[in-house]
Amino acid sequence: MTVLVLGGAGYIGSHAVDRLVEKGYDVAVVDNLVTGHRAAVNAKARFYEGDVRDQAFLDGVFDKEDIEGVIHFAAFSVVPESMKKPLKYFDNNTAGMVSLLEVMNKHNVKKIVFSSTAATYGEPKQIPIKETDPQVPTNPYGESKLMMEKIMRWSDEAYGIKFVALRYFNVAGAKEDGSIGEDHHPETHLVPIILEVAAGERDQLAIFGDDYPTKDGTNVRDYVHVVDLADAHILALEYLKAGHDSDAFNLGSSTGFSNKEMLEAARKVTGKEIPAKMAPRRAGDPSTLIAASDKARKTLNWQPRFDNVEDIIRTAWNWKQTHPAGYNDRNEEK
Ligand code: NAD
Ligand code: UDP
Protein backbone atom coordinates (compact mmCIF):
# COMPACT_ATOMS: atom_id res chain seq x y z
CA MET A 1 0.00 0.00 0.00
CA THR A 2 1.13 3.49 -0.87
CA VAL A 3 0.96 6.90 0.79
CA LEU A 4 0.21 9.65 -1.74
CA VAL A 5 1.77 13.01 -0.86
CA LEU A 6 0.28 15.99 -2.68
CA GLY A 7 2.73 18.90 -2.68
CA GLY A 8 5.60 16.56 -1.82
CA ALA A 9 8.16 18.67 -3.72
CA GLY A 10 7.59 21.65 -1.42
CA TYR A 11 9.43 22.64 1.72
CA ILE A 12 7.39 20.72 4.29
CA GLY A 13 6.13 18.05 1.88
CA SER A 14 9.67 17.05 0.84
CA HIS A 15 10.64 16.53 4.49
CA ALA A 16 7.52 14.42 5.03
CA VAL A 17 8.29 12.30 1.95
CA ASP A 18 11.82 11.85 3.22
CA ARG A 19 10.66 10.72 6.67
CA LEU A 20 8.05 8.37 5.16
CA VAL A 21 10.73 6.75 3.00
CA GLU A 22 13.11 6.52 5.97
CA LYS A 23 10.39 4.75 7.93
CA GLY A 24 9.83 2.23 5.15
CA TYR A 25 6.58 3.51 3.59
CA ASP A 26 5.94 3.21 -0.12
CA VAL A 27 5.44 6.77 -1.34
CA ALA A 28 4.05 8.48 -4.44
CA VAL A 29 4.18 12.24 -4.92
CA VAL A 30 1.95 14.59 -6.91
CA ASP A 31 3.22 18.12 -7.44
CA ASN A 32 2.91 20.68 -10.24
CA LEU A 33 6.23 22.29 -9.18
CA VAL A 34 4.66 25.74 -9.07
CA THR A 35 6.67 26.48 -5.93
CA GLY A 36 8.26 23.07 -5.34
CA HIS A 37 11.49 21.49 -6.53
CA ARG A 38 11.87 18.15 -8.29
CA ALA A 39 15.29 17.71 -6.65
CA ALA A 40 13.73 17.94 -3.19
CA VAL A 41 11.79 14.69 -3.66
CA ASN A 42 13.44 11.59 -2.22
CA ALA A 43 14.56 9.37 -5.12
CA LYS A 44 12.71 6.37 -3.66
CA ALA A 45 9.32 8.07 -4.12
CA ARG A 46 7.49 7.85 -7.46
CA PHE A 47 6.87 11.32 -8.86
CA TYR A 48 3.86 12.51 -10.88
CA GLU A 49 4.00 16.05 -12.19
CA GLY A 50 0.52 17.56 -12.38
CA ASP A 51 -2.10 19.73 -10.76
CA VAL A 52 -4.39 18.68 -7.91
CA ARG A 53 -7.24 20.50 -9.64
CA ASP A 54 -6.83 18.31 -12.74
CA GLN A 55 -9.21 15.47 -11.86
CA ALA A 56 -8.41 13.41 -14.97
CA PHE A 57 -4.70 13.50 -14.09
CA LEU A 58 -5.39 12.63 -10.42
CA ASP A 59 -7.70 9.84 -11.51
CA GLY A 60 -4.81 8.34 -13.50
CA VAL A 61 -2.53 8.46 -10.47
CA PHE A 62 -5.16 6.78 -8.28
CA ASP A 63 -5.64 4.12 -11.00
CA LYS A 64 -1.93 3.32 -11.09
CA GLU A 65 -1.21 3.43 -7.37
CA ASP A 66 -2.69 1.34 -4.55
CA ILE A 67 -3.28 4.28 -2.21
CA GLU A 68 -4.11 3.73 1.47
CA GLY A 69 -4.12 7.39 2.47
CA VAL A 70 -3.09 10.84 1.35
CA ILE A 71 -1.16 13.69 2.92
CA HIS A 72 -2.12 17.01 1.37
CA PHE A 73 0.41 19.88 1.36
CA ALA A 74 -0.35 21.31 -2.09
CA ALA A 75 -1.41 24.92 -1.65
CA PHE A 76 -0.36 28.54 -1.90
CA SER A 77 0.55 30.08 1.45
CA VAL A 78 1.78 33.67 1.15
CA VAL A 79 -0.50 35.86 3.26
CA PRO A 80 0.19 39.29 1.67
CA GLU A 81 -0.27 37.81 -1.81
CA SER A 82 -3.60 36.32 -0.72
CA MET A 83 -4.79 39.77 0.33
CA LYS A 84 -4.18 41.04 -3.21
CA LYS A 85 -5.22 37.90 -5.11
CA PRO A 86 -7.83 36.08 -2.98
CA LEU A 87 -9.32 34.18 -5.91
CA LYS A 88 -5.92 32.61 -6.68
CA TYR A 89 -6.05 31.13 -3.16
CA PHE A 90 -9.65 29.95 -3.25
CA ASP A 91 -9.02 28.40 -6.66
CA ASN A 92 -5.77 26.59 -5.91
CA ASN A 93 -6.33 25.72 -2.27
CA THR A 94 -10.08 25.37 -1.80
CA ALA A 95 -11.03 24.11 -5.27
CA GLY A 96 -7.96 21.84 -5.14
CA MET A 97 -9.42 20.19 -2.04
CA VAL A 98 -12.78 19.59 -3.76
CA SER A 99 -11.00 17.96 -6.69
CA LEU A 100 -8.88 15.75 -4.43
CA LEU A 101 -11.83 14.59 -2.31
CA GLU A 102 -13.88 13.80 -5.44
CA VAL A 103 -11.13 11.53 -6.71
CA MET A 104 -10.47 9.99 -3.28
CA ASN A 105 -14.14 9.18 -2.91
CA LYS A 106 -14.33 7.68 -6.40
CA HIS A 107 -11.37 5.42 -5.58
CA ASN A 108 -12.60 4.59 -2.10
CA VAL A 109 -9.58 6.18 -0.38
CA LYS A 110 -10.89 7.33 3.00
CA LYS A 111 -7.97 8.86 4.89
CA ILE A 112 -6.47 12.32 4.53
CA VAL A 113 -3.94 14.22 6.61
CA PHE A 114 -4.10 17.91 5.84
CA SER A 115 -1.77 20.93 6.22
CA SER A 116 -3.84 23.49 8.04
CA THR A 117 -2.51 26.56 9.76
CA ALA A 118 -2.60 28.86 12.76
CA ALA A 119 -3.88 31.43 10.23
CA THR A 120 -7.30 29.76 10.50
CA TYR A 121 -7.61 31.20 14.04
CA GLY A 122 -7.02 34.82 13.06
CA GLU A 123 -6.41 37.23 15.96
CA PRO A 124 -6.52 34.96 19.02
CA LYS A 125 -8.79 35.73 21.96
CA GLN A 126 -6.48 33.84 24.31
CA ILE A 127 -2.92 32.50 24.44
CA PRO A 128 -2.04 29.67 24.14
CA ILE A 129 -4.46 28.89 21.32
CA LYS A 130 -6.49 25.71 21.76
CA GLU A 131 -7.94 23.61 18.95
CA THR A 132 -11.44 24.42 20.20
CA ASP A 133 -10.90 28.20 20.00
CA PRO A 134 -12.89 30.20 17.42
CA GLN A 135 -11.52 30.14 13.88
CA VAL A 136 -11.93 33.61 12.42
CA PRO A 137 -9.27 34.12 9.73
CA THR A 138 -8.07 37.64 8.99
CA ASN A 139 -6.82 36.94 5.47
CA PRO A 140 -7.91 34.95 2.37
CA TYR A 141 -5.12 32.40 2.85
CA GLY A 142 -6.39 31.46 6.31
CA GLU A 143 -9.98 31.52 5.02
CA SER A 144 -9.10 29.20 2.13
CA LYS A 145 -7.60 26.72 4.62
CA LEU A 146 -10.54 26.97 7.01
CA MET A 147 -12.87 26.26 4.08
CA MET A 148 -10.76 23.21 3.28
CA GLU A 149 -11.19 21.98 6.86
CA LYS A 150 -14.96 22.49 6.60
CA ILE A 151 -15.15 20.73 3.24
CA MET A 152 -13.37 17.74 4.79
CA ARG A 153 -15.81 17.72 7.71
CA TRP A 154 -18.83 17.50 5.41
CA SER A 155 -17.08 14.90 3.23
CA ASP A 156 -16.54 12.81 6.34
CA GLU A 157 -20.24 13.12 7.14
CA ALA A 158 -21.37 12.23 3.63
CA TYR A 159 -18.71 9.82 2.34
CA GLY A 160 -16.90 8.68 5.48
CA ILE A 161 -13.59 10.23 4.43
CA LYS A 162 -11.69 10.58 7.72
CA PHE A 163 -9.30 13.48 8.15
CA VAL A 164 -6.73 14.91 10.50
CA ALA A 165 -6.22 18.66 10.14
CA LEU A 166 -2.79 19.67 11.45
CA ARG A 167 -2.69 23.36 12.25
CA TYR A 168 0.95 24.38 11.99
CA PHE A 169 2.40 27.36 13.76
CA ASN A 170 5.78 28.68 12.47
CA VAL A 171 7.74 26.04 10.64
CA ALA A 172 11.51 26.39 10.22
CA GLY A 173 14.73 24.38 9.96
CA ALA A 174 15.94 21.70 7.58
CA LYS A 175 16.94 18.04 7.59
CA GLU A 176 20.00 17.76 9.82
CA ASP A 177 22.32 16.48 7.08
CA GLY A 178 21.49 19.59 5.05
CA SER A 179 20.35 17.61 1.99
CA ILE A 180 16.88 19.23 1.83
CA GLY A 181 15.64 22.54 3.16
CA GLU A 182 13.58 25.66 2.56
CA ASP A 183 13.81 27.30 -0.89
CA HIS A 184 10.96 29.72 -1.54
CA HIS A 185 11.17 32.51 -4.05
CA PRO A 186 10.44 35.15 -3.07
CA GLU A 187 11.15 34.21 0.54
CA THR A 188 8.76 35.72 3.07
CA HIS A 189 9.46 33.76 6.27
CA LEU A 190 11.49 35.23 9.12
CA VAL A 191 14.14 32.53 9.69
CA PRO A 192 15.31 32.10 6.07
CA ILE A 193 15.28 35.88 5.59
CA ILE A 194 17.47 36.38 8.68
CA LEU A 195 19.85 33.75 7.28
CA GLU A 196 19.91 35.48 3.87
CA VAL A 197 21.18 38.56 5.73
CA ALA A 198 23.69 36.43 7.64
CA ALA A 199 24.92 35.01 4.31
CA GLY A 200 25.32 38.51 2.88
CA GLU A 201 22.52 38.09 0.31
CA ARG A 202 20.47 40.90 1.84
CA ASP A 203 21.76 44.08 3.45
CA GLN A 204 19.61 43.92 6.55
CA LEU A 205 16.56 42.46 8.21
CA ALA A 206 13.47 44.65 8.40
CA ILE A 207 11.61 43.83 11.64
CA PHE A 208 7.95 44.51 10.99
CA GLY A 209 6.72 46.49 13.99
CA ASP A 210 8.09 47.15 17.47
CA ASP A 211 4.97 48.60 19.08
CA TYR A 212 3.06 45.39 19.76
CA PRO A 213 1.91 44.56 23.31
CA THR A 214 4.67 41.94 23.76
CA LYS A 215 7.80 41.64 25.92
CA ASP A 216 9.96 43.71 23.53
CA GLY A 217 7.33 45.19 21.22
CA THR A 218 7.95 42.75 18.35
CA ASN A 219 5.63 39.90 17.32
CA VAL A 220 5.85 36.62 19.19
CA ARG A 221 5.65 33.31 17.31
CA ASP A 222 5.86 29.61 18.13
CA TYR A 223 8.51 27.73 16.10
CA VAL A 224 8.45 24.06 15.21
CA HIS A 225 11.15 22.09 13.37
CA VAL A 226 10.18 20.85 9.92
CA VAL A 227 11.28 17.26 10.62
CA ASP A 228 9.26 17.12 13.86
CA LEU A 229 6.34 18.47 11.86
CA ALA A 230 6.86 15.81 9.18
CA ASP A 231 6.80 13.11 11.85
CA ALA A 232 3.46 14.39 13.15
CA HIS A 233 1.93 13.67 9.71
CA ILE A 234 3.03 10.07 9.87
CA LEU A 235 1.58 9.73 13.38
CA ALA A 236 -1.66 11.30 12.14
CA LEU A 237 -1.88 8.86 9.27
CA GLU A 238 -1.32 5.94 11.65
CA TYR A 239 -3.97 7.41 13.94
CA LEU A 240 -6.49 7.28 11.10
CA LYS A 241 -5.35 3.79 10.08
CA ALA A 242 -6.04 2.67 13.67
CA GLY A 243 -9.69 3.62 13.07
CA HIS A 244 -9.89 6.87 15.00
CA ASP A 245 -12.33 9.58 14.09
CA SER A 246 -11.53 12.84 12.29
CA ASP A 247 -9.85 15.49 14.40
CA ALA A 248 -7.68 18.63 14.42
CA PHE A 249 -4.35 19.21 16.21
CA ASN A 250 -2.14 22.23 16.72
CA LEU A 251 1.54 21.67 15.99
CA GLY A 252 3.81 24.04 17.86
CA SER A 253 6.19 24.10 20.78
CA SER A 254 3.91 25.95 23.23
CA THR A 255 6.75 28.50 23.62
CA GLY A 256 6.87 31.96 22.12
CA PHE A 257 9.87 33.82 20.69
CA SER A 258 9.80 37.46 19.68
CA ASN A 259 11.23 38.57 16.36
CA LYS A 260 14.06 40.30 18.22
CA GLU A 261 14.79 37.11 20.17
CA MET A 262 14.91 35.16 16.91
CA LEU A 263 17.40 37.66 15.53
CA GLU A 264 19.59 37.33 18.63
CA ALA A 265 19.41 33.54 18.44
CA ALA A 266 20.47 33.65 14.77
CA ARG A 267 23.37 35.99 15.60
CA LYS A 268 24.53 33.49 18.20
CA VAL A 269 24.22 30.46 15.91
CA THR A 270 25.83 32.03 12.85
CA GLY A 271 28.38 34.25 14.60
CA LYS A 272 27.38 37.00 12.15
CA GLU A 273 26.39 40.53 12.98
CA ILE A 274 23.09 40.41 10.96
CA PRO A 275 22.18 44.10 10.61
CA ALA A 276 18.54 44.87 11.35
CA LYS A 277 16.24 47.88 11.28
CA MET A 278 12.78 48.52 12.58
CA ALA A 279 10.10 48.80 9.90
CA PRO A 280 6.35 49.46 9.95
CA ARG A 281 3.94 46.71 10.92
CA ARG A 282 3.08 44.16 8.22
CA ALA A 283 -0.68 44.15 7.48
CA GLY A 284 -2.57 41.30 9.08
CA ASP A 285 0.12 40.20 11.59
CA PRO A 286 -1.40 39.06 14.90
CA SER A 287 0.61 40.26 17.89
CA THR A 288 1.26 36.85 19.48
CA LEU A 289 0.66 33.29 18.25
CA ILE A 290 1.48 30.44 20.60
CA ALA A 291 -0.03 26.98 20.29
CA ALA A 292 -1.43 24.80 22.97
CA SER A 293 0.08 21.63 21.51
CA ASP A 294 -0.44 19.15 24.33
CA LYS A 295 -3.29 17.50 22.42
CA ALA A 296 -0.95 16.29 19.63
CA ARG A 297 1.57 15.16 22.22
CA LYS A 298 -1.01 13.19 24.20
CA THR A 299 -3.30 11.86 21.49
CA LEU A 300 -0.85 11.27 18.65
CA ASN A 301 2.08 10.60 20.99
CA TRP A 302 4.01 13.32 19.12
CA GLN A 303 7.45 13.84 20.66
CA PRO A 304 9.26 16.72 18.95
CA ARG A 305 13.05 16.34 19.10
CA PHE A 306 13.94 19.99 18.51
CA ASP A 307 12.81 22.00 21.48
CA ASN A 308 14.90 25.11 21.16
CA VAL A 309 15.05 27.70 18.44
CA GLU A 310 18.85 27.76 18.26
CA ASP A 311 18.85 24.11 17.17
CA ILE A 312 16.13 24.86 14.63
CA ILE A 313 18.10 27.82 13.25
CA ARG A 314 21.33 25.77 13.22
CA THR A 315 19.80 23.20 10.84
CA ALA A 316 18.47 25.96 8.57
CA TRP A 317 21.91 27.62 8.58
CA ASN A 318 23.55 24.31 7.67
CA TRP A 319 21.19 24.01 4.65
CA LYS A 320 21.82 27.64 3.71
CA GLN A 321 25.59 27.26 3.82
CA THR A 322 25.65 24.04 1.84
CA HIS A 323 23.01 25.27 -0.68
CA PRO A 324 23.57 29.00 -1.17
CA ALA A 325 21.40 28.94 -4.32
CA GLY A 326 18.81 26.56 -2.84
CA TYR A 327 17.94 23.83 -5.35
CA ASN A 328 19.38 26.03 -8.09
CA ASP A 329 16.35 25.54 -10.35
CA ARG A 330 14.84 29.00 -10.30
CA ASN A 331 12.71 30.21 -13.13
CA GLU A 332 10.45 33.23 -13.15
CA GLU A 333 7.77 31.45 -11.14
CA LYS A 334 9.85 30.54 -8.11
P1 NAD B 1 5.58 25.06 -0.49
O2 NAD B 1 5.10 26.13 -1.41
O3 NAD B 1 7.05 24.88 -0.34
O4 NAD B 1 4.94 23.67 -0.89
C5 NAD B 1 3.71 23.53 -1.54
C6 NAD B 1 3.89 22.49 -2.65
O7 NAD B 1 2.63 22.27 -3.29
C8 NAD B 1 4.86 22.96 -3.73
O9 NAD B 1 5.74 21.91 -4.07
C10 NAD B 1 3.95 23.31 -4.90
O11 NAD B 1 4.61 23.15 -6.15
C12 NAD B 1 2.79 22.35 -4.70
N13 NAD B 1 1.50 22.80 -5.24
C14 NAD B 1 0.86 23.97 -4.99
N15 NAD B 1 -0.31 24.01 -5.64
C16 NAD B 1 -0.42 22.83 -6.31
C17 NAD B 1 -1.42 22.26 -7.15
N18 NAD B 1 -2.53 22.92 -7.47
N19 NAD B 1 -1.20 21.02 -7.65
C20 NAD B 1 -0.08 20.33 -7.36
N21 NAD B 1 0.90 20.82 -6.57
C22 NAD B 1 0.73 22.05 -6.06
O23 NAD B 1 4.90 25.36 0.91
P24 NAD B 1 5.30 24.80 2.35
O25 NAD B 1 5.93 25.89 3.12
O26 NAD B 1 5.97 23.49 2.23
O27 NAD B 1 3.85 24.58 2.95
C28 NAD B 1 3.15 23.36 2.74
C29 NAD B 1 1.76 23.46 3.30
O30 NAD B 1 1.84 23.79 4.67
C31 NAD B 1 0.91 24.53 2.65
O32 NAD B 1 -0.36 23.96 2.41
C33 NAD B 1 0.83 25.62 3.68
O34 NAD B 1 -0.42 26.25 3.64
C35 NAD B 1 0.99 24.87 4.98
N36 NAD B 1 1.61 25.68 6.04
C37 NAD B 1 2.91 26.11 5.93
C38 NAD B 1 3.49 26.87 6.97
C39 NAD B 1 4.93 27.32 6.90
O40 NAD B 1 5.41 27.93 7.87
N41 NAD B 1 5.68 27.03 5.85
C42 NAD B 1 2.72 27.20 8.10
C43 NAD B 1 1.40 26.76 8.17
C44 NAD B 1 0.87 25.99 7.14
N1 UDP C 1 8.97 39.19 9.89
C2 UDP C 1 9.79 40.30 9.94
N3 UDP C 1 10.60 40.57 8.87
C4 UDP C 1 10.62 39.78 7.76
C5 UDP C 1 9.78 38.62 7.73
C6 UDP C 1 8.97 38.36 8.82
O7 UDP C 1 9.80 41.04 10.92
O8 UDP C 1 11.35 40.09 6.80
C9 UDP C 1 8.11 38.90 11.06
C10 UDP C 1 6.63 38.88 10.74
O11 UDP C 1 6.09 40.18 10.77
C12 UDP C 1 6.12 38.00 11.87
C13 UDP C 1 7.27 37.00 12.10
O14 UDP C 1 8.42 37.60 11.51
O15 UDP C 1 5.97 38.77 13.04
C16 UDP C 1 7.04 35.65 11.46
O17 UDP C 1 6.68 35.88 10.10
P18 UDP C 1 6.61 34.71 9.03
O19 UDP C 1 6.21 35.33 7.72
O20 UDP C 1 7.88 33.95 9.07
O21 UDP C 1 5.46 33.74 9.57
P22 UDP C 1 3.92 34.04 9.97
O23 UDP C 1 3.92 34.21 11.46
O24 UDP C 1 3.47 35.25 9.23
O25 UDP C 1 3.24 32.79 9.54
**Which residues line the pocket of ligand 2, CB cutoff 6 A?**
79, 170, 188-190, 193, 205-208, 219, 221, 259, 282, 285
Contact 142, 192 (CB under 8 A): no
Residue 333 banded pLDDT, cuts 50, 70, 90: low
List domains and CATH numbers for the chain: 2-172+222-251 (3.40.50.720), 190-221+254-322 (3.90.25.10)
Q: Which of 118-127, 176-185, 225-234, 322-331 has the lowest mean pLDDT?
A: 322-331
Residue 331 banded pLDDT, cuts 50, 70, 90: low
Q: What is the Cα–Cα distance from 31 to 7, expressed in whole angstroms?
A: 5
pLDDT of residue 255: 94
For 18-66, what is each residue's pLDDT tens digit? 999 999 999 999 999 999 999 999 999 999 999 999 999 999 999 999 9
Average pLDDT over residues 150-169: 98
Average pLDDT over residues 172-193: 96
Average pLDDT over residues 123-148: 96
Amino acid at 302: W
For 265-314, what is each residue's pLDDT tens digit? 999 999 999 999 999 999 888 999 999 999 999 999 999 999 899 999 99
Beta-bridge mates of residue 247: 164
pLDDT of residue 210: 97
Check pocket membership of 35 for ligand 1, CB cut-off 6 A. Answer: yes
Average pLDDT over residues 78-95: 95
Amino acid at 144: S
Average pLDDT over residues 140-155: 98
pLDDT of residue 284: 80
Q: How far is the CA of 211 from the centre of ligand 1 (A)?
A: 31
Helix/strand/coil (H, E, C) string of the chain? CEEEEECCCCHHHHHHHHHHHHCCCEEEEEECCCCCCHHHCCCCCEEEECCCCCHHHHHHHHHHCCEEEEEECCCCCCHHHHHHCHHHHHHHHHHHHHHHHHHHHHCCCCEEEEEEEHHHCCCCCCCCECCCCCCCCCCHHHHHHHHHHHHHHHHHHHHCCEEEEEEECEEECCCCCCCCCCCCCCCCCHHHHHHHHHCCCCCCEEEECCCCCCCCCCCEECEEEHHHHHHHHHHHHHHHHCCCCCEEEEECCCCCEEHHHHHHHHHHHHCCCCCEEEECCCCCCCCECCECCHHHHHHCCCCCCCCCHHHHHHHHHHHHHHCCCCCCCCCCCC
Q: What is the Cα–Cα distance from 322 to 315, expressed in whole angstroms?
A: 11
Catalytic residues: 141
Q: How far is the CA of 277 from the centre of ligand 2 (A)?
A: 14
Identify which of 77, 193, 226, 262 to mutate to test ligand 1's pocket (most ligand atoms within 8 A of the CB): 77
Q: What mean pLDDT, rounded, does the chain reach? A: 96
Identify which of 15, 17, 19, 35 to mutate to test ligand 1's pocket (most ligand atoms within 8 A of the CB): 35
For 217-273, what is each residue's pLDDT tens digit? 999 999 999 999 999 999 999 999 999 999 999 999 989 999 999 999 999 999 999
Which amino acid residue places its CA nearest to atom 19 of ligand 2? Answer: 189
